[in-house]
Amino acid sequence: MTETADPAAATGDGLRALAARFPPDFAWGVAASAYQIEGAVDEDGRGPSIWDTFAAQPGAIANGDSGAVACDHYHRSAEDVALMADLGVTAYRFSVAWPRVLPDGIGRANEAGLAFYDRLIDGLLARGIQPVLNLYHWDLPQAIQDRGGWTHPDMADWFAHYAGIVADRYGDRVREWLTINEPQVFAFTAHAVGRHAPGGRDWPTALRVAGAALRAHGAAAQRIRASVGAARIGLALDVNRIEPATESAADAAAADRHAAIRQRWFLDPLFGRGYPEAALAAHGLAGHLADELGGRGLEPPALEAPDFLGVNYYARELVAADPDALFGLRLVPAPGAPRTTMDWEIHPHGLTRVLADLNRSYAPPALVITENGAAFPDTPAADGRVDDRERRAYLEGHISAAADAVADGVPLRGFFVWSLLDNFEWEKGFGQRFGLVRVDYATQRRTLKASGEWYRSFLRTHHQRPDR
């Protein structure tokens, strides 16, 4: 059952003015990922993923939550596609669960798993929604992790094999492809910081994983293109706005170092520049480029520039120099700045700056905002409705910031809200809600929030433009 909240207050003139700032063929969508919404982790031949294993470890996930059921999207995908159609989105960015397609990570594909995505893709197309398929959103098959995971020398070949199976199956219907989502997170947060699966805490390993992710992206892109000649292929990077906390030279150097480690470590090789010197120096000073590495795994791969660059933007990060902290830096909050329940600063103008900087520094053929959204408490009223005016203001501010970038000549082609549904938020469990649609996890009832009503009104206004 789907319930609807009262529309958020919005003037028609304001919506028309904002909608008019985007070209008529601009892609408006929502995004989600397999492990966060699908559930059905042991059904129809799906193999375990590293997140199944990680979630089973006591204390790894808040409240002992897991994605075992999540939003039950595996059984409710038709209902969720209907929700998207009601919103008026023209595209849906989703991920394929590698262990659902290849339970052992390699070898023979699982027909039942492939058939699920057939149904999803066909359902989207029947509603006029373009599927944007992401191959990897962190749910590595446990069988591959048992062989060494992302540090195995055959990892790029295994990923290309998986990409080929998916491309051969869906390439007749899918033209927009993402290979990997946020390699920074599963390289560093998962292998050096330990907060994500598989829970590693070793920086040299994390650096090998980062290099392997770039090589896997390149191998998968080649395999997809061989199967789908008209494919547009990219990957999504986490690119927040990074600024020094003060005007001091030390803070400026710390901010540059943080950007090099977190962002340019992936952006520079992706556009043929090798690893950034500031990051190499930082890793060397921290002892992460130990002699035992011998340079193996740190040679930047030769890659073709992507057809588009996916940008996941959520916040601004202020950086202060701290000689006693890792890499000589720490993040500090901006005094008095509004923050989400993820403790992320709300800073829409940072999105405009990020898009302009990426365009100026790398000149990608196109940019797409593949994730943007916010977590708030979302306390439902007695009737179950959710007046999430904070999220509505967040989205309106960031869509306006995206319009500023378009006006400045940035080749921005799409905007995907994270997320369609409240879902499993990794180590935070179900305690953080990002959705335009509230999910009551006990009943799986979906309720469109006020932010979803606003987004629907905005999209209808955009679609009704006379130049469409």
Q: In what order do the strands lie in the sheet with 316-321?
A: 241-244, 316-321, 329-332
The single residue of 176, 317, 371, 453 carrying the catalytic annotation is 371
Within a 13 Å sphere around the CA of 273, how many CA atoms are in the beta-carbon half? 13
Angle at 329 between CA 183 and CA 182, to 5 degrees: 10
CA–CA gap between residue 249 and residue 256 (Å, rounded): 11
> 316-339 burial by CB neighbour count: b if 16+ within 10 A, else e?
bbbbbbbeeeebbbbbeeeeeeee
Length of the chain: 468
pLDDT reported for residue 133: 98
Concerning whether 371 is annotated as a catalytic residue, the answer is yes
Residue type, 260: A
Active site residue 182: yes
Give a three-class secondary structure readout of 382-438: CCCCCCCHHHHHHHHHHHHHHHHHHHCCCCEEEEEEECCECCCCHHHCCCCCCCCEE
Domain boundaries along the sequence of the chain: 2-463
Give the C-alpha separation, 202 to 149, whole Å.
14
Would you say 435 and 380 are in contact if contact means Cβ atoms under 8 Å apart? no
Residue 156 and residue 212 in contact, taking contact as beta carbons nearer than 8 Å = yes
Alpha carbon 218 to its chain centroid, in Å, reads 19
- What pLDDT was estimated at residue 283? 86
Backbone angles phi, psi at 424, to 5 degrees: -70, 115
Q: Helix 73-87 to helix 450-463 angle, to the nearest 10 degrees?
A: 50
Per-position DSSP letters for 73-139, written without gaps between them: HHHHHHHHHHHHHHHT-SEEEEE--HHHH-TTSSSS--HHHHHHHHHHHHHHHHTT-EEEEEEESS-
Q: Out of 182, 243, 390, 453, which one is annotated catalytic? A: 182
Residue 333, CB-side half-sphere exposure with 13 Å CA sphere: 11
Helix axes 450-463, 12-19, angle to 10 degrees: 60
Q: Cα-flanking dihedrals φ and ψ of residue 371, to 5°?
A: -150, 135
Structure tokens at 48: 């375990």
Cβ burial of 292 (10 Å; 0-12, 13-18, 19+) is exposed
Superfamily of domain 2-463: Glycosidases (3.20.20.80)
Question: How many CA atoms are closer than 13 Å to the CA of 411, on its beta-carbon side?
Answer: 13
Q: Identify the pLDDT of residue 466.
A: 73
What residues form DSSP beta bridges with 284? Answer: none
For every one of its 468 residues, what pLDDT tens digit does the chain have, with 9 covering 90 and above? Answer: 444 443 433 568 899 999 999 999 999 999 999 999 999 999 999 999 999 999 999 999 999 999 999 999 999 999 999 999 999 999 999 999 999 999 999 999 999 999 999 999 999 999 999 999 999 999 999 999 999 999 999 999 999 999 999 999 999 999 999 999 999 999 999 999 999 999 999 999 999 999 999 999 999 999 999 999 999 999 999 999 999 999 999 999 999 999 999 999 999 999 999 899 999 999 886 778 754 344 455 677 889 899 999 999 999 999 999 999 999 999 999 999 999 999 999 999 999 999 999 999 999 999 999 999 999 999 999 998 999 999 999 999 999 999 999 999 999 999 999 999 999 999 999 999 999 999 999 999 999 999 999 999 999 999 997 776
Sheet of strand 2-4: strand arrangement: 2-4, 445-448, 437-440
